[in-house]
Amino acid sequence: MRRAVGLPWQMLRGAVALTYLFIFTPIVITALVSFNSINQSKFPPVGFSMRWWDDALSERWLQPLWFSVQLATLTAVIATLLGLPLAFGLTRYKFPGRNILVALSLGPLALPALVTGIGILQFFQTAGLAALFGFPALLIGHVVICLPFSVRTIAISLRAMPAKVEQAAANLGARPARVFLEITLPLIRSGLFAGAIFCFIQSFTDYSVSLFLSRAGMQPISIAILSYIDYGFTPTLAAVAVLTLVVPLVLIAAVQHFFGIGDFLYGARDSG
């Protein structure tokens, strides 16, 4: 068997180590900068202080953070509810217009989210839907950009299902609804969760579609940080930035613990 040692491989390992360094340096620096004792983002930090963390944990920042969590949760739920029937229809049936719909459901991934945000803004404004501005429009924008993630993930797990089990269930007397509930749904469960998590993270880390759709008091955390830009990058902001990292990490750990999306992500599946 191949034992991959030798000079080229060692050089590759060196390059890989440097790449990881490149990936994580800015993130680590951001975290360390939050402990500066002066109100400047110096690296290495000057002295040590936790007061910027006090600031970061104040209402000023927790409010948009909590808002983002709510927005991302709702987005994930709605995108999954829309993505499930869409993916099921697209993978299990042939119908006129199917190809157009496939392109359409992946479209938000292809077009710039920033522009989609502007489009929604202008279209709602002109179509007399200005009443939707605020949370509803923001939610709509987020669902639009997340839908491709959910459709795609669900479609992949629908296709990855062991062949013919749905037919076998129908043959044994299960009506379509029962086939779906007893066979399909349990078998794509991890795909559903993975899709919902992709949606959550996509929504939680988005700034593009929110840029033109958020309103005062209804700012996702990334927009709140971005609009602080004029004050420079203070250690408080660094602490807030670290806080925003905690949310998806906790989420993934929890879901992995309770439902095991690992199965899905590593493509391990049984065929009976």
Partner 1 sequence: MDEPAVAVSGVRKTYGEVAAVDGIDFEVRPGEFLTLLGPSGCGKTTTLNIIAGFIQPDRGSIRLNGQSVEALPPFRRDIGLVFQDYALFPHMSVGQNVAFGLRMRGVPKPEIAQRVEEALELVRLGGRAERKPTELSGGQRQRVALARALVIRPTVLLLDEPLSNLDLKLREEMRLEITTLQRRLGITTVLVTHDQGEALVVSDRIAVMRNGRIEQLGNAEAVYERPATHFVAEFIGTMNFVRGQAMRVSAEGSCIVGFDDHGVAVAAPQPVAGSREVEIAFRPERAALRTAGAAREPTQLAVPGTVRRRVYLGTLVQSHVETVHGRTIIVETVNDGIRQPPNIGEAVEVIVKGSDCIAYPVS
Partner 2 sequence: MSVAALASRPSRTIIAWRPILLVGVPAAFLLFCFVLPNAFLLTSSAFKSESQVLTNQLTTENYGFLLGRAVYRGAILRTFLIGALVGLLVVVLSYPLAFFLARTRSRWKGALIALSLSPLLASVVVRTYGWWVLLNREGAVNDLLRATGITSQSLPLLPSVGAIVIGLTHSLLPYGVLTILSSLNGVNPSFEKAAMSLGANRIRTFFEVTLPLSLPGIVGAFVIAFTLSISAYATPAILGGPSTATMATLIYDFMTSLADWALGSAMGALLIVSSMVLLVIGAVLGSKREAL
Stretch that binds partner 2, among 57-65, 69-77, 183-191, 237-245 (CB under 8 A): 237-245
CA 197-113-24 angle, 5° bins: 60
CA-CA distance, 66 to 60, in Å (whole number)?
A: 11
Count of residues engaged in binding partner 2, rule: CB under 8 A: 90
Of the pair 76, 179, the CB lying nearest partner 1 is at: 179
- Any contact of residue 37 with partner 2 (CB under 8 A)? no
Give phi and psi for 215, each to the nearest 5: -130, 165
Of the pair 155, 255, the CB lying nearest partner 2 is at: 155
174 Cβ contact partners less than 8 Å away, ≥ 6 residues apart: 182, 183
- Any contact of residue 120 with partner 2 (CB under 8 A)? yes
Of the pair 113, 187, the CB lying nearest partner 2 is at: 113
- Please choose which of partner 2, partner 1, none residue 191 contacts, taking the beta carbon within 5 to 8 angstroms, the exact cut-off set by kind: none
Of the pair 156, 168, the CB lying nearest partner 2 is at: 156
Q: Which two tokens stand for residue 26?
A: 């800015």
Give the chain's radius of gyration (CA, Å).
23
Of the pair 147, 169, the CB lying nearest partner 2 is at: 147
Q: Which two tokens stand for residue 225?
A: 């940080």
- Please choose which of partner 1, partner 2, none residue 266 contacts, taking the beta carbon within 5 to 8 angstroms, the exact cut-off set by kind: partner 2
Decide: residue 94, CB within 10 A, 0-12 exposed, 13-18 middle, 19+ buried.
exposed
Q: Between 46 and 75, how does the x/- string for binding to partner 2 read (CB under 8 A)?
A: ------------------------------
Longest dimension (CA), the chain: 72
Least distance CB 165 / partner 2 (angstroms) = 19
169 Cβ contact partners less than 8 Å away, ≥ 6 residues apart: 178, 179, 182, 183
SS3 215: strand
- Please choose which of partner 2, partner 1, none residue 165 contacts, taking the beta carbon within 5 to 8 angstroms, the exact cut-off set by kind: partner 1
Q: In this chain, which of 52, 76, 244, 255 binds partner 2, going by CB under 8 A?
A: 244
Give phi and psi for 218, each to the nearest 5: -130, 55
- Please choose which of partner 1, partner 2, none residue 270 contacts, taking the beta carbon within 5 to 8 angstroms, the exact cut-off set by kind: partner 1
Stretch that binds partner 2, among 54-62, 81-89, 161-169, 184-192 (CB under 8 A): 81-89
